[in-house]
Amino acid sequence: MKDPYGIEARARFVAEPPKRAGRTPFERDRARVVHSAALRRLSAKTQVLGAGSDDFIRNRLTHSLEVAQVARELGASLGCDPDIVDSAALAHDLGHPPFGHNGEVALDEVAASCGGFEGNAQTLRLLSRLEAKTFAPDGRSVGLNLTRATLAACVKYPWSRGEAPDGAGKNWGEKFGVYADDVELFDWVRADVEPRHRPIEAQVMDLSDDIAYSVHDIEDGVVGGWFTLDLASLDESSVNAVARDWYDAGLDDERLSSALERLEAMPEWPRKALDPSRASRALLKSLTSALIGRFATAAQSATVQRWGSGPLVRYMADLEVPDATRDEITVLKAVAAHYVMRSDDRAVHLGSQRELLQDLVKALAASEGRELEPDIRADHDAATDDEGRLRAVVDQVASLTDISAPLWGKRLGL
């Protein structure tokens, strides 16, 4: 079969000497992501509950591994190179700071004067600048120097701040994928591409992320005792309100209730209360497998029906996700958001977490770079203005974990 990826897709921002035969450029990309320091740090970063709070609960690394498994299989079923979608899935959360989305909010506020903070833009910055692998002839770091196709698949929101597409909705409208000082690389990645159009590999990564955390947050919430799978006991009005507030303002109660009813009608949905036994855990695992298969198969079938059997790669097709499938994913996310992420037990820590990260930025900035790690200090010292120096400080704080951030605070006397 003819390879659907051409020279343009395999190009790297900085040309590299020929490598030994036996691996494709996209396999090399995946290896670089797997061996990156940023990926290792995800093991100590929050997914939903704090990293290390429970041996069963997922962290950002285990979540990313699960997203990669879903993305690899879904992408391969459409003809995408499996290593491209695998790499994008592994990398999709690399830019997240300590304390999950709460940390993003804190850093966005304190970094306002240098363009703010966004986890997806930080991911591109890590891959193309901060991770140590390759340097340009002029001495600039180009990060892991991934291929154009892989980098494009990693860009979840292909626009700068304030340039989201019309009608993007509340969630997407606040997102962006590149900082001003990373635009050169971003423009190279998206050369001759229609603005804001994502390659199908990025769309597969994005849906796989939604599938994984909608399903696995439910599993974590049930095992953690935050809620049960008896949908009659759910506070449905509050769940629906969260669905509209956080995910899709256009969803009405009827659509959300119908989505819950369809899910409860699945043969794998438990008909009795679950307990800590191995048998109950097996039932729960069967449900998570069935949900992942349900959502991925619906998208695969709808895409093939719309675009043909492919192979479907790059910008030649879009991933089609039926509205009913999106509704079901959204309502599951809303259940976890209402009972876990918005719970009083968790909310009590949010303010102190934000304060810690913002105080770290202020203290490190006041130190004029002396307290930064050597590579970040070099970036700080090379910056020509206050905005560049602040960006380096934010890079440092964003690289910390839920465990190391408090330790840095203690060392700096915060």
Lowest-confidence region among 95-99, 176-180, 222-226, 282-286: 222-226
Largest CA distance in the chain: 65
- 62-76, 301-315, 331-345: segment of lowest average pLDDT: 331-345
Q: Are 44 and 52 in contact (CB under 8 A)?
A: yes
Q: What is the pTM of this model?
A: 0.92
What is the torsion angle, in degrees rounded to the nearest 10, for the CA atoms of residue 198, residue 288, residue 336 and residue 340?
A: -120
pLDDT (tens digit, 9 = 90+) per residue, 190-219? 999 999 999 999 999 999 999 998 998 888
pLDDT given for residue 366 in this prediction: 96
Tell which wins on pLDDT, 382 or 164: 382
Domains of the chain (ranges plus CATH)?
Answer: 7-199 (1.10.3210.10), 201-345 (no CATH)
Question: In which residue are the tokens 């962290």 written?
Answer: 59
Return the axis-axis angle of helices 344-366 and 386-399, rounded to nearest 10°: 140
**What sign does the CA torsion over 43, 44, 46, 51 have?**
positive
What is the average per-residue pLDDT within 223-234?
Answer: 77
**Most confident residue range from 7-21, 43-57, 291-305, 337-351:** 291-305
In whole angstroms, give the CA distance from residue 280 to residue 294.
Answer: 21
Q: What's the N-to-C CA distance of the chain in angstroms?
A: 60
